[in-house]
Amino acid sequence: MNPYELTLGQAADHLATKKLSSRELVRSCLDRIEQVEPQIKAFLDVQSEQSLIQADRADERLAWGNAGPLCGIPVSIKDLICTKGITTTCGSRMLENFVPPYDATVIERLKEAGAILIGKVAMDEFAMGSTTESCAFQVPDNPWKSGYVCGGSSGGSAASVAARECMASLGSDTGGSIRQPASLCGVVGLKPTYGRVSRYGLVAFASSLDQIGPLTRDVRDCALMMNVISGYDPRDSTSVQRTVPDYTTALTEGLTGMTIGLPREYFASGLDPEVEQVTMRGVEVLKAAGANVVEVSLPHTDYCLAVYYLIAPAEASSNLARYDGVSYGLRDHKADSLLEMYKESRSRGFGDEVKRRILIGTYALSSGYYDAYYKKASQVRTLILDDFQQAFTRCDLLISPVVPTPAWKIGEKSDDPLALYLSDVLTTPANLAGIPGISVPGGLTASGLPVGIQLQGPHFGEENLLRAAYNLEQGLALPAAWPQLV
Domain locations in the chain as residue ranges: 3-253+407-476
Alpha-carbon distance of 403 to 338, in angstroms, equals: 44
- Whether residue 133 is predicted with pLDDT greater than 80 in this model: the reply is yes
Q: What is the pTM of this model?
A: 0.97
pLDDT band at 17 (very low <50, low <70, confident <90, very high): very high
Closest alpha carbon to 227 in 440, 466, 66: 466
Mean pLDDT to the nearest integer, 63-71: 92
For residue 128, give the H/E element and its range. Answer: none
pLDDT at 223: 98
User: If pLDDT is split at 50, 70 and 90, which confidence band does 367 have?
Assistant: confident
Mean pLDDT of the chain: 96
**What average pLDDT does this structure show over 381-405?**
98
Kindly state the average pLDDT of the residues 426-433: 98
How far apart (Å, rounded) are the C-alpha atoms in residues 321 and 214?
Answer: 29
Q: What integer pLDDT is reported at residue 485 of this predicted model?
A: 77
Q: Is the pLDDT of residue 478 over 90?
A: no
| Record: fold of 3-253+407-476 | Amidase signature (AS) enzymes (3.90.1300)
Q: Report yes or no: 463 and 455 within 8 Å, Cβ to Cβ.
A: no
Residue 486 has pLDDT above 70, yes or no: no
Q: Report the catalytic residues.
A: 78, 153, 177
Counting beta carbons within 10 angstroms of the beta carbon of residue 416, is it exposed (0 to 12), middle (13 to 18) or buried (19 or more)?
exposed
What does the pLDDT look like over 245-282, one tens digit per residue?
A: 999 999 999 999 999 999 999 998 889 999 999 999 99
Give tens-digit pLDDT for 208-231. Answer: 999 999 999 999 999 999 999 999
Average pLDDT over residues 104-121: 98
Q: What are phi and psi of 261, to 5 degrees?
A: -95, 140
Which tens digits make up the pLDDT trace of 305-341? 999 999 999 999 999 999 998 887 899 888 889 899 9
